[in-house]
Homo-oligomer: A and B are copies of this chain.
């Protein structure tokens, strides 16, 4: 097969497709995103994408080695869009809070894409930039390297994981989503106190809370734990090894 995908430098990209479209990596990615937004994540297939582009499905293999490559390109595009919106202030906790909420919001804005890109490491430009930025915020705040990486990892994965989780909930068929919401009212809130005392005792809070995303709460918990850890570290640096034989 020699090599199907030609490195971008050697591209000449001349002949338009049979329906007159001139393909390019960018056009393919953006069309894929549009397709996902309009018809859901499972509407994205090589064949459908080809049809949407007015090209033969096999043409896409001139640009991506396989469908997975395409997914990574889509994921990276989303990271870039989110990062471009973010404006850091210098307060590490506030900045990470803001970025986390923006990533989460970005995922919710593209529910279908978020679900399939959440678990991938792309190693592409935008992702690298994001890693560098977040690590910088943590190290500048004073976290030692090992701790910074540990917290970075938990922070990013939590944002991705909740993004995917809440996206999946949003992407459910409308009927299913309403059914879920009513389960808390109709089933949980009506359990008798003698068999389920804790549910019955907190029913009011459950109905109010379970309809919303818990990401903001989880994010705050994570950041406050990190802040506590940072204070510990600073204290130890100032008063090195108090009493230890």
Contact = CB atoms under 8 A, between A and B. Distances in A.
Interface of A: 68, 118-123, 128, 131-132, 135-136, 139, 145-146, 148-151, 153-154, 156-158, 160-162, 164-166, 168-169, 172-173, 176, 180, 183-184, 187-188, 191, 196-199, 201-202, 204-206, 209-210, 213-215, 217-218, 220-222, 224-226, 228
Nearest to A140: B198
A11 to B, nearest CB: 22
Nearest to A116: B168
Number of copies: 2
A213 B164 CA distance: 16
Given A131-B188, A161-B164, A217-B150, A119 B224 contact: no
A23 to B, nearest CB: 24
B119 A173 contact: no
Contacts of A209: 149-150, 153
11 contacts: A119-B168, A128-B187, A128-B188, A131-B199, A132-B199, A151-B217, A151-B221, A218-B222, A224-B225, A225-B225, A228-B228
A123 to B, nearest CB: 4
